[in-house]
Amino acid sequence: MERKYPHLCSPITLGRTTFRNRMFSAPMGGTDIANDGCIGPKSTAFYELRAKGGAGAVTVSELMVHPKTDGSHAYHLDESILNSLASATYTADAIRRHGAIPSIELSHSGMFAGTYMTDKSKQKSLSQWGPSDTVRADGVQVKALTKDMIDEIVGAYAHVAGLVKRAGFEMLMVHGGHGWLINQFLSPMFNKREDEYGGTIENRARFAIEVLKAIREAVGPFFPIEFRMSGAEFVDEGYGIEEGIEIAKLVEPYVDLIHVSAGTYQKTFGITHPSMFTDHGRNVFLAAEIKKHVSKPVATIGGLSDPEQMEEIIASGKADVVYMARQLLADPFLPRKVTENRDGDIVKCLRCFTCMAERAATSTRRCTVNPIIGREMEGDEVYPAPVKKKVLVAGGGPGGLYAAWTAARRGHEVILCEKEDTLGGILKSEQALPFKHEMYELSLTYAKFCRDAGVEIRLNTEVTKEYAERENADALIIAVGSSPLVPPIPGLEGENVVIVNNYYKEKDKVGDEVVVMGGGLAGCECAIHLGMEGRKVRLVEMRDVLAPDANVRHRPLLLKEIDKYVTVHTGHRALRVTSEGVVCADKDNNEVLVPGASVICALGQKSRTDVVNELLDAAPFVRVIGDASRVSTITNAVYWGYHAALDI
């Protein structure tokens, strides 16, 4: 067959190992790390899913090589730990049996040891070691590694590399970026040494080269070694692309693949992990520049999800391999869909950071658009139901669409009714915000899945109790969503007011000076968009904080964008809306006019409980999902919709 994306689908050989395509799964932390650092069965299933999905390589993250100086937050590999080698072997096997090459990331946290430990009190009690004596921003003392300790850590890298090979991994990645120990030696921001490991770039790269040489001795001449580095650190105290090129040239003789990432720990999170406010592939230019100066293959990463963009990266010679992390949570089967010319079925990552926020909050994983993530052991296949039933779904938002698609895959007769003339529910409003377009596209993708699975879709059809009873369905999934909260504030009914849900339909009503009422997630994101368009935007919020409903990873990046584009008035309670703006009471109960000819109302959502209550007895099996049950997130709507359909 003729591949639509021939460069992405072409094999690549590193050392003497051939990879089936150029789409690799980047390191992502597992979901059940044992207290002694073993890879748990949930994590094995987590990594295996990306292998089943067709990735050329799947990289396990992170294996900490020297617990003595790194109170690690991740995996260990040590013969003295019961099940350590065995769990690594089972994981490598789970990846390899699906045709992907298993790889594992070797790392040392250095001065940030234990950063991701759930018990922060233990983190504070750890001894922190780095290239130089210093005090971290959070007040933790850091001691400089001695030459003997450096030699011991280098030996640990080699020893663990040998165990990795024994366990069945066929490639390893040495983490030399993002502010971990090797990067700390490479970076003038961290490295203040005056011996042979500090000063010139050659000296700062000495530790990395010693590690790579020792690993090569341990694994032999043909075992692929990958070096992950930050092409630039994007902070004044760090290094830029010029030194990034020199680092790549210095390590090139000792590696088979140079993996170019970006940024440094704690300072450039939104660059290392590009947010929805940045361009897809915003770090590709680093790999492209480094590739001009080296002869070894180069890999790139950074918010990649579009196969057309990734094909162009390979075809034009910017890189030889593309890595994806969050995108392969959203759709682990992207590589298979690309190779099978089914790119229209790809579910795009929203770059919403639900996955990383959940890991920080509960040490588990969840994905907004993929209910399987973190729960892979429960199964990733949807099996036919033993008894076929008639299923009625009320509501065509993300939860309703996912429920309908899942029920249809189980072999049920599924009818989905949407009271409006288009599907998508609240996601329709996202089409007006360019940085959230993937969220709007999600509804189109889910709708395609429904049609392809044989769901009968009835638009302009509201499900009432009488309608449901006439259909006589065996099961009813209520996904009627929520409606905007519009309190009785005088003037909110005026012609100069647009409800945020309707902004996509009424953009022409919004002028150059805008007041956004409501500092929750929806109001903040709309305000940012209007600011990006060059409008003068003022945001009114009665609380003292903005976007408390945003997750812990997205919120700091959101607030940075607010600072760029929006004038904020917290502690201001709206009293009335006029043609001149919004009259508010400030914290001292003084009346203040926040000026703006146009007003966006973003004061929240409320569940459509009246509709829900009417339908509760309209079928033998009834399940309420998404905002109809509780105003929440797309994550919950999709997850609840999926399981509602599995329960029928």
Query: Can you give the CATH number for the domain in which 267 is found?
Result: 3.20.20.70
Q: Is 615 found in the same domain as 593?
A: no
Domain stops at, among 337, 352, 378: 378
Domain edge (last residue) among 570, 586, 603: 603
Determine, yes or no, domain membership for 454: yes
232 & 373 share domain: yes
Residue 642: its H or E element: helix 634-646
Cβ burial, residue 472 (10 Å; 0-12/13-18/19+) = exposed
- If asked whether residues 370 and 315 sit together in one domain, one would say yes
Average confidence (pLDDT) per 10 residues, the chain, 648 residues: 97 98 95 86 97 98 90 81 94 98 96 69 74 90 96 98 98 97 97 98 98 98 98 97 98 98 92 96 98 98 97 98 98 98 98 93 92 95 97 98 98 98 96 96 98 98 97 98 96 96 96 98 98 98 97 97 98 97 96 97 97 97 97 96 98
Question: CA 556, CA 554: separation in Å to the nearest integer?
Answer: 6
Alpha helical stretches, state H, 105-200: 120-125, 147-167, 181-186
What is the phi/psi pair of residue 315, to 5°? Answer: -65, -35
**Number of compact structural domains in the chain:** 3
Q: Are residues 373 and 426 in the same domain?
A: no
Q: What is the DSSP string of 558-574?
A: HHHHHHHHEEEEET-EE
Q: Is residue 240 part of a domain?
A: yes
34 lies in the same domain as 93:
yes
Q: Which helix (H) or strand (E) holds 299?
A: strand 298-300
Find the domain containing 511 and state its range: 497-603
Does residue 186 sit in the same domain as residue 323? yes
Look up the pTM and report it.
0.96
Same domain, 478 and 502: no
| 613 within some domain | yes
Q: What is the pLDDT of residue 177?
A: 97
Same domain for 411 and 520?
no
The secondary structure of 435-454 as a DSSP string is GGHHHHHHHHHHHHHHHHHT
Q: Give residue 277's pLDDT.
A: 97
Which positions ≥6 away from 610 have C-beta within 8 Å?
none
User: Residue 119's pLDDT is what?
Assistant: 58
What is the spatial distance between Cα 154 and Cα 316, in angstroms, rounded to a whole number?
37
Tell whether 130 is covered by a domain.
no
What's residue 361's pLDDT?
86
User: Could you report how far apart the first and last alpha carbons of the chain are, in Å?
Assistant: 39
Domain membership of residue 124 (yes or no) is no
The token duo for 383 is: 């099996």
Give the CATH number for residue 580: 3.50.50.60
User: Residue 341's pLDDT is what?
Assistant: 98
pLDDT of residue 113: 86
Report the candidate in 275, 334, 336, 273 with the shortest Cα–Cα distance to residue 309.
Answer: 334
Q: Both 342 and 401 in a single domain?
A: no
Instruction: State the pLDDT at residue 284.
Output: 98
Report yes or no on 435 lying in a domain: yes
Identify whether the C-beta of residue 281 lies closer than 8 Å to the C-beta of residue 6: no
Q: Which residues contact 117 (CB under 8 A, 6 or more apart)?
A: 71, 73, 123
Kindly state whether residues 463 and 547 are assigned to the same domain: no
CA distance 223 to 181: 23
Q: What is the pLDDT of residue 551?
A: 96
| 364 and 444 assigned to the same domain | no
The Cα-based distances of 576 to 259, 495, 511, 524, 648 in angstroms read 56, 14, 19, 20, 49
Residues 183 and 224 reside in one and the same domain: yes
Q: How far apart are CA 311 and CA 598, in angstroms?
A: 43
